[in-house]
């Protein structure tokens, strides 16, 4: 009968700070810029890693603390990950703590390649270009990005009738705060919008902070792409560009929001950029009490997307 001190079922345990894999993971953990440059997603904790497996993505490279209980949630995920082809390495707790701040019972990290863009507003599910580099090992490291073989996510669907039509898209216009980006991704997925595009200046959507705030929403999207405003406009396919502004605008609840829309949510301080204000065909505002600052961008996105959802549900009855 295993005891709580038993090590998790992994092939090896790293005990040295000089280990090259440990050095690389620690460097990635400390630098969102490096995560972006190497095009990897940094997933921490059982919830996100379960979402990764449930979405049938290639599991990538996993790091786990050697102190996790052998019969708990993480151990069950390790078994699933191994069956799916994850390359799993355990680290002594003192080393793992330098990779992740997760508690001992949930000390698990997955590093997976970010899906490649399919072009503006492509119809297919999130996929990745074929990757030729093998999975990470504890041996000498190459200078290329972390990869784990081809990513073969299955088709992602929008769910029941109340989900948004294929033309809906959320555009984040230089939204800098990782918590806001993650919250908006979560809201978009919950409201049935499956495409989110990010312009330059946004927080890296696959960073650990954004993934935590998104709570698995990334895996419910069919497209999550960083691109230019010009490329977005070229691929909107008739969706009306919609912004929230106090200039020449109408109250949100008085406008028919049932047709496909491209929702533009702007920077926390500057709001929607002039580029999008000039392109907009719908200018809306959210009625609120006088004397109060405008809503946080994530809160405003939730109000807008769920008003659209409410109208569609009501019309479908």
9 by Cβ neighbours in 10 Å (0-12 / 13-18 / 19+) ranks as middle
Per-domain residue ranges of the chain: 1-154, 169-316
Two tokens at 308? 């659209």
Two tokens at 98? 């330098």
Q: What is the pLDDT of residues 266-289, one digit of tens each?
A: 999 899 999 999 999 999 999 988
Report d(CA 62, CA 138) in Å as an integer: 12
Architecture category of domain 169-316 in CATH:
3-Layer(aba) Sandwich (3.40)
Report d(CA 89, CA 94) in Å as an integer: 15
Q: What is the pLDDT of residues 147-182, one digit of tens each?
A: 333 332 333 222 332 334 457 999 999 999 999 999
Q: What is the pLDDT of residues 8-59, one digit of tens each?
A: 555 679 999 999 999 999 999 999 999 999 999 999 999 999 999 999 999 9
The position carrying tokens 């769920």 is 306
Please state at what angle helix 46-54 crosses helix 73-84, rounded to 10 degrees: 30
Nearest C-alpha neighbor of 239 from the set 167, 164, 311, 304: 167
Confidence grade of residue 72 (pLDDT, cut at 50, 70, 90): confident
User: What's the CATH code, domain 1-154?
Assistant: 3.30.1330.30
Average pLDDT over residues 187-211: 96
What pLDDT does 246 receive?
80
* CB-based contacts of 86, cutoff 8 Å, min separation 6: 59, 60, 61, 62, 110, 148
């Amino acid at each position: 009968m295993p005891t709580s001190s038993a090590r998790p079922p992994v092939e090896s345990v790293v005990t040295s700070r000089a280990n090259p894999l440990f050095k690389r993971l620690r460097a990635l953990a400390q630098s969102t810029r490096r995560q972006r440059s190497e095009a990897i997603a940094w997933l921490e904790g059982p919830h996100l890693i379960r979402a990764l497996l449930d979405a049938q993505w290639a599991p990538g490279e996993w790091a786990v603390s050697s102190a996790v209980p052998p019969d708990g949630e993480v151990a069950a995920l390790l078994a699933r990950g191994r069956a799916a082809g994850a390359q799993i390495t355990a680290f002594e707790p003192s080393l793992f703590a330098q990779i992740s701040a997760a508690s001992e019972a949930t000390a698990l990290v997955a590093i997976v390649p970010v899906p490649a863009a399919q072009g503006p507003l492509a119809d297919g599910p999130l996929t990745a270009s074929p990757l030729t580099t093998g999975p990470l090992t504890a041996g000498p490291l190459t200078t290329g990005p972390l990869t784990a073989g081809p990513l073969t996510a299955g088709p992602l669907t929008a769910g029941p009738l109340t989900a948004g039509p294929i033309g809906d898209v959320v555009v984040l216009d230089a939204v800098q705060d990782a918590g806001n980006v993650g919250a908006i991704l979560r809201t978009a997925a919950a409201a049935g919008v499956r495409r989110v595009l990010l312009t330059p200046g946004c927080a890296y959507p696959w960073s650990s902070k954004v993934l935590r705030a998104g709570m698995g929403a990334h895996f419910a999207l069919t497209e999550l792409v960083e691109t230019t405003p010009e490329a977005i406009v070229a691929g909107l396919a008739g969706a009306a560009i919609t912004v929230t502004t106090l200039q020449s605008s109408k109250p949100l609840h008085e406008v028919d929001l049932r047709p496909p829309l491209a929702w533009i949510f702007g920077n926390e301080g500057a709001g929607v950029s002039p580029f999008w204000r000039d392109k907009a065909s719908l200018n809306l505002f959210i009625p609120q009490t006088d004397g109060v600052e405008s809503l946080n961008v994530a809160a405003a996105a939730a109000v807008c997307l769920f008003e659209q959802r409410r109208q569609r549900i009501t019309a479908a009855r």
